Amino acid sequence: MRLFYTLLIYLLSPVVLFLLYRPRHGKPGFGPRWKEHLGWVAPPNKQAPIWIHAVSVGETIAVTPLIKTLKQRHPELSIVLTTTTRTGADQAARLGDLVEHRYAPLDYPCAVKRFIKQIQPQALLIMETELWPNLLAQCGKQNLPVVILNARLSEKSCQRYQRIRHFFRQMSQALTLLLCQHRDDAERFKRLGVTPQQIVVTGSIKFDIQLDQKQIELGEQYRQSLGNRPVWIAASTHKGEDEAILRVHQEICKQQPDALLILVPRHPERFTDVAKLCLEHEFAICRRSEQRLATVQESVLLGDSMGEMAYFFQIADIAFMGGSLVPVGGHNLLEPAALAKPTLIGPHFFNFSDITRQLVDKKACQVIHDETELATQVLQLLGSPDQRHTMGMAAFDVVAANQGALEKSVTAIDTVLATLPQR
């Protein structure tokens, strides 16, 4: 089965490499480091590092508190952090000398083998359920411990894996520990043949969010400078979604002429296109990159910067999470929730269904289904400070009630590190 899989990915290589490396307007490329995806990486500065893999920006942000905790407990520990995407690499750069960054090898046997030979890791920690057959097979051959962090498995995915249950069981033999978000996830992994000894239920480390206090302070200063002006944010929006958001803002401005929309596209290569969209919808805009306060005549603050979501959320009275009016699957609501902001999300939130459902159940979040409903809910909340406060505190309570997964995860990782030979 793995042989067939490997043959297939080699046959699809031209398509995969084209999609990964094709030049796109406004999106920085990989430069000479593209070879790292094929395993041609420089050795780390220190021997025997822990290898942590996080695919892109979201996973890198989520694993950052764990990295900081590991370094606090084990100052001598060397960490190599890999990402697949350039935006993930940019986020990793914010960690400074806590980690060394490399691009992760694509799941070609030769690339994985080359990477491991160069890095010589003593253990691999993978953020979320990134199970790559050739990577796991090579780790098994090298007796390299593999820990899956924040592991999750939906019922739909479980049923799909049931069709290749034997293959999944072979892959899972290379896993040392699966740190599952919930008991339901653990039970699904067991149904696929993962042994109870390989599973620990820790909860989601995403709830142990560590916000940038400097960003929050700057955001609060900006908010105070706006006075009583009503502000809402549409965060992490995708192509096809911005037009809808701008139409909603047009409706809002009919009743709240001084309302300010903070519009933050998910991908930096779209900043210029979204700025043009704002002008096409006849909005005067202020760009974050201009480093100034939006004037009364400017109805949109365009978040054309990276790594400042806490800053933007702190300015806003209400947060709408993008990727949910279009079938992308939504994005993580925990950052605005941790800032006690009432949240709204569209119907497509399947990538974060558990977090969203918890917030909805506690009346901290509302699911909206179309533009009309979004405009209605934003206007209602802008005119109801008491409701905003109630929803915001309920959101904060959900985050607080679920914290503790980070400590459980680090404790489990420490048990694995304790078994490693001293180098």
Q: Tell me which residue of 165, 198, 86, 83 sits closest to 130, measured CA to CA.
A: 83
Q: What is the pLDDT of residue 23?
A: 77
Q: What is the pLDDT of residue 153?
A: 87
pLDDT at 25: 66
Query: Cα angle vertex 178, ends 174, 184, to 5°?
Result: 130
> Measured between alpha carbons, how far is 153 from 353 in angstroms, rounded to an integer?
12
Q: CA–CA separation, 421 vs 350, rounded Å?
A: 41
213-401 is classed CATH 3.40.250.10: no
**What are the per-10-residue average pLDDT scores of the chain (423 residues)?**
86 86 75 93 94 91 93 95 91 93 96 97 92 93 95 88 87 94 92 94 90 95 97 96 98 97 94 96 96 96 94 98 94 95 96 89 97 97 97 97 94 93 64
Count other C-beta atoms under 10 Å from residue 372's C-beta: 12
* Residue 30 structure tokens: 């990989």
183 residue type, one letter = R
Measured in whole angstroms, how far is the alpha carbon of residue 226 from the centre of its chain? Answer: 30
- Residue 151 is predicted with a pLDDT of 93
**CA geometry: angle 198, 66, 333, nearest 5 deg:** 100
Three-state secondary-structure class, residue 90: helix
* Phi/psi of residue 124, nearest 5 degrees: -120, 125
All residues at 6 or more sequence positions from 165 whose CB lies less than 8 Å from its CB, including other chains: 192, 193
* φ, ψ dihedrals at 361, nearest 5°: -60, -30
pLDDT of residue 413: 96
Q: What is the largest CA-CA distance in the chain?
A: 67
CA angle centred on 147, ends 6 and 39, rounded to 5°: 45
pLDDT for the residue 16: 83
> Domain spans of the chain?
28-208+404-418, 213-401
Which residue's structure tokens are 């497509």? 348
Residue closest to 81 by CA, chosen among 36, 113, 114: 36
- The per-residue pLDDT for 422 is 64
Question: Are residues 137 and 173 in contact, defined by beta-carbon separation less than 8 angstroms?
Answer: no
End-to-end Cα spacing for the chain:
36
Torsion angle, alpha carbons of 97, 98, 100, 105, to 10:
-160
Query: Which residues, other chains included, contact 121 with Cβ-Cβ below 8 Å and sequence gap of 6+?
Result: 48, 49, 50, 51, 80, 144
E-strand stretches of 152-228? 177-180, 199-201
Instruction: Please give the single-letter amino acid code of residue 380.
Output: Q
Please count the other Cβ atoms lying within 10 Å of the Cβ belonging to residue 49: 21
Q: Which two tokens stand for residue 16?
A: 């995969």
Just list the catalytic residues: 59
Tokens of 381: 């909340």
Beta strands in 213-307 (DSSP E): 231-237, 260-265, 285-287, 300-302
- Phi/psi region, residue 193 (left: phi>0; alpha: psi -120 to 50; beta: rest), is left
Output the pLDDT for position 346.
97
| Bridge partners (DSSP) listed for residue 343 | 319, 365
On the question of a common fold for 28-208+404-418 and 213-401, the answer reads: yes
Domain 28-208+404-418 architecture: 3-Layer(aba) Sandwich (3.40)
Which residues have CB under 8 Å from 393's CB, separation 6+? 340
